[in-house]
Structure 1
């Protein structure tokens, strides 16, 4: 079961990083016109999100489940594994971009409206290093914050109130994640103003906050299926061991 969790966790994180280059309009997704509001003194804002945020909430659900059954040591292990493999993947992306393309390949996308396939390939996979660094740093820090808060709450609740420790830890860690990635990638990397960084951070966090609440039943559903699959005795032993691994 841990292998399945790890495989999905890493794959989900890598996919989120890869599709994160596309920005979409949440208003248009629901058939509405883009809004135009002002926040932190920044005008002309709308609810525009990266496609990566579609998958990141699942990542935090997985974190809470692994935390519940295997403890913080296991969460740190799969988080470090994800960061290492994502870093490896991006190195391979840059290697692929540097490989000289075949001459005939340039125009193979003309019929689909892509005049230069090489530029299109490099544009999709060639994310700025600040964005990559910011995303990985935010992911790692937010995972550590999530684990810490989860177990702080669990000390007081025991095995009851799964919703409180799961949702509470996610809400705080998502805020940390949103701020760090924008600060590193766009404040440091692009020189954006504080008003713009904070405004976009608030918009992204509002989405993540909403998703964290909506996905709470998914955690209970997963817990119920796992408990049925493993049996009460095994589950009790795993959860006790997970609490014992808190300081490891």
Structure 2
């Protein structure tokens, strides 16, 4: 029986997708502490936008946004072939493992550093390696809580909207349910992160929270639209891997298991 499960292509595909999904989520959390300038990356001048009375806003984004749009695409793929219960399952797994990772980071940060190691980065202009390690892996507690809650809530919103649209469109218009669910869930994700981490955690004004959330969401919205063709490419590869008939049965089963 075990050998049959291991050899089953749909099972192997699900395990592979789950591993990729969790890895991307964890990487996104780890690199999320770096803020990059989208304008500088594209060789443009700062946007200097004014939103909700907040002036001189530019597209300074967390590096986590490089991977989060991909996570929502993976969610849509799992939704299409395995159903909402599977999406919830991989989301809970990701949250559990991210929480575990942060717990290990916390332990590592609080272990006493070796004396020789503290100054070992001086040649690279890092006077205190322990401080550098702590600043990279020791994100603020509010940011950690915000990112985990936002991730889980947005995933549940995505799966709900995806299937509501699919009930209306059937097997047609994959782009509509994929993009529609993603743009809404990304909005939820953007707002929750900023609200918990900076409104509750740091006392930001509502105007700042709304302007920063909307600015970050505008980038995510654009990327979600650009990445829509990826859905069709992945579906083609899946059908090639498991076979057209099996893929069709997987989609039908996914709808029944809602």
Q: TM-score, normalised on structure 1?
A: 0.98
| Separation (CA, whole Å) in 1 of partners of 2:162 and 2:49 | 35
Alignment partner of 1:22 is 2:34: yes
Q: 1:40 aligns with which of 46, 52, 56?
A: 52
| Separation (CA, whole Å) in 2 of partners of 1:29 and 1:188 | 31
Hey, what does 1:123 align to over in structure 2?
135
**How far is the alpha carbon of 1:32 from its aligned partner?**
1.9
Hey, what does 2:245 align to over in structure 1?
233
| Separation (CA, whole Å) in 2 of partners of 1:213 and 1:103 | 51
SS in 2 for 1:105: helix
Alignment partner of 1:5 is 2:17: yes
**How far is the alpha carbon of 1:37 from its aligned partner?**
2.0
**How far is the alpha carbon of 1:60 from its aligned partner?**
0.3
| Separation (CA, whole Å) in 1 of partners of 2:47 and 2:187 | 23
Hey, what does 1:242 align to over in structure 2?
254
Q: 2:186 aligns with which of 165, 169, 174?
A: 174
Hey, what does 2:214 align to over in structure 1?
202
| Separation (CA, whole Å) in 1 of partners of 2:191 and 2:109 | 30
| Separation (CA, whole Å) in 2 of partners of 1:164 and 1:142 | 18
| Separation (CA, whole Å) in 2 of partners of 1:10 and 1:168 | 23
| Separation (CA, whole Å) in 1 of partners of 2:39 and 2:201 | 28
| Separation (CA, whole Å) in 2 of partners of 1:214 and 1:232 | 26
Alignment partner of 1:145 is 2:137: no
SS in 2 for 1:114: coil
**How far is the alpha carbon of 1:33 from its aligned partner?**
2.6
Q: 1:188 aligns with which of 182, 200, 212?
A: 200
Question: Once superposed, what is the RMSD of the aligned Cα atoms?
Answer: 0.6
**Structure 1 regions of 5+ residues with no counterpart?**
none
SS in 2 for 1:160: coil
**How far is the alpha carbon of 1:20 from its aligned partner?**
0.2
